[in-house]
Amino acid sequence: MKNKINMIKAASVGLGWWSDELAKSIQGKSNKIRVVSCYSKSKKKRIDFSKKYKTNYTDSYNSIVKNPNIDALILTTPHSLHAKHAIQALRNGKHVFVEKPMATKYLDAKKMYLVAKKYNKVLSVGHNRRFSSVYDFINKLNIQKRIGKILHIDANFSASGALNYKKKFWRANRKESPGGAIAGLGIHMIDLMCYFGGKVKSVQSLVKKYAVKVNMDDTTSALFELKKNCTGNLTTIFACPYTTTFNIFGTNMNIFSDVDKNKIKIVNKSGKIQKLNLINKDTLFLELQEFADNCKNKKKYRIKNSEAAHNVKVMEAIVKSSKRNKKIYL
């Protein structure tokens, strides 16, 4: 008879649409982690979430972090609150899964993982595209050295969401959405780009407001020099149709991919083209499963906290470069 696996008992905090997506991915499906409680400032959200996912709820964040029956928190609060909420939870002995971006400031992100280390708790950041079929496929090619020397990486994560933002929506300002779509979308591509190309050494960028009606930018373009001696280009727009392209140009092959559609096109030296449709993976389920394994010391979470913090540092540098109209060195 198999030993019963002890579940990680988690509390979901924030309770917006992404809290719902994460809970939906694991509740009743995972044998490693389940949501047992929840918190939001909104009483209606607390009640609705608890009914939908059959959890308890509480009327204060403090009572969540002090609850001895909760092992971990799943944080999907506004970006600028990630550091404050994560640090409070870690200091109270909770493991923390926080949605990207890790924070809105690099120094806050760094403090988060130093606190996690001090209290010997797991801190993981939700860069879920690192669990995608496209990532796995390209990573395998790279490990096998089939791509050759990577020369350039071109990435675009864009969507039209900000066109419909209202003034009071929490994302609809430059504090919560620095650099326009970077915090919500583009940081996923920064994460992938840095994984394959190395950390960003320098950035030159343009961050503009062309179409949205709220106090935030909508169009961002950034050119990077990466540590593994290659270049990168990021486009992230919050006012156009949805796209998640990630393309690598190497000495042996060029790889064109649509991350969320699980599509790959490879062009080799002779010009031969290979098109592939990869399997669809539930990246939210996979990242939370790996987080739970890490909490139980069974498996390391694949995104290092130093990597997630560097992504925040790059986001800050993109904003700074555009404001100062100059190249920024990291």
Work out the pLDDT band at 2, boundaries 50, 70, 90: very low
Q: What pLDDT does residue 20 have?
A: 97
Residue 110 CA, distance from chain mean position? 16
CATH 3.40.50.720 in the chain, residues? 8-127+285-298
Q: Where are the alpha helices (DSSP H) in the chain?
A: 17-26, 43-53, 61-66, 82-91, 106-118, 133-143, 187-197, 283-295, 305-324
Q: Residue 327 — φ and ψ, nearest 5°?
A: -70, 135
pLDDT of 194-230, one tens digit each?
Answer: 999 999 999 999 999 999 999 999 999 999 999 999 9
Q: What pLDDT does residue 297 have?
A: 87
What mean pLDDT do residues 76-81 have?
97
What mean pLDDT do residues 62-89 have?
97
CA angle 36, 40, 44 (to 5 degrees): 95
What mean pLDDT do residues 45-62 have?
97
Say yes or no to pLDDT of 51 above 80.
Answer: yes
Interacting residues of 114 by C-beta distance below 8 A, sequence separation 6+: none
Work out the pLDDT band at 1, boundaries 50, 70, 90: very low
The helix (H) or strand (E) run that includes residue 11 is strand 8-13
Torsion of CA 44, 175, 312, 322, to 10 degrees: 150
Q: What pLDDT does residue 3 have?
A: 37
Contacts for 116-123: CB closer than 8 Å, 24+ residues apart: 116/90, 116/305, 119/90, 119/91, 119/93, 121/90, 121/93, 121/94, 121/95, 121/96, 122/72, 122/95, 122/96, 122/291, 122/294, 122/295, 122/301, 123/86, 123/90, 123/95, 123/96, 123/98, 123/305
- Out of 3.40.50.1110, 1.10.287.3510, 3.40.50.720, 2.40.50.140, select the CATH number for domain 8-127+285-298: 3.40.50.720
Asked if residues 232 and 183 have their Cβ atoms less than 8 Å apart, the reply is no
Q: What pLDDT does residue 139 have?
A: 98
Task: Report DSSP state, residue 14.
Answer: S
**Whole-angstrom Cα distance, residue 95 to residue 213?**
39
Q: What pLDDT does residue 161 have?
A: 95
High-pLDDT (> 70) share of the chain, %: 98
Work out the pLDDT band at 6, boundaries 50, 70, 90: confident
Interacting residues of 301 by C-beta distance below 8 A, sequence separation 6+: 122, 124, 290, 291, 293, 294
User: Position 159: which residue type?
Assistant: A
pTM given for the model: 0.96
Residue 214 CA: distances (Å) to CA of 79, 162, 175, 176, 218: 18, 8, 12, 12, 10
Say yes or no to pLDDT of 288 above 90.
Answer: yes
Say yes or no to pLDDT of 5 above 70.
Answer: no
User: Position 300: which residue type?
Assistant: K
Helices (H) and strands (E) in the chain, counts: 9, 14
Say yes or no to pLDDT of 114 above 60.
Answer: yes
CATH 3.30.360.10 in the chain, residues? 130-281+311-329
Q: What pLDDT does residue 298 have?
A: 84
Q: Is 133 helix (H, G, I), strand (E, B) or coil?
A: helix
What mean pLDDT do residues 104-128 have?
98
Q: What pLDDT does residue 166 have?
A: 95
Task: Report DSSP state, residue 111.
Answer: H
Say yes or no to pLDDT of 291 above 70.
Answer: yes
Work out the pLDDT band at 4, boundaries 50, 70, 90: very low
- Which CATH architecture describes the domain 130-281+311-329? 2-Layer Sandwich (3.30)
pLDDT of 144-182, one tens digit each?
Answer: 999 999 999 999 999 999 999 999 999 999 999 999 999
Q: Tell me the average pLDDT of the chain.
A: 96
**Whole-angstrom Cα distance, residue 170 to residue 147?**
42
Asked if residues 286 and 172 have their Cβ atoms less than 8 Å apart, the reply is no
Q: Is 222 helix (H, G, I), strand (E, B) or coil?
A: strand
**Whole-angstrom Cα distance, residue 241 to residue 50?**
34
Residue 100: name the closest of 60, 130, 71 by CA: 130
Q: In what order do the strands lie in the sheet with 200-208?
A: 273-277, 263-268, 253-258, 243-250, 150-158, 230-237, 219-226, 200-208, 328-329
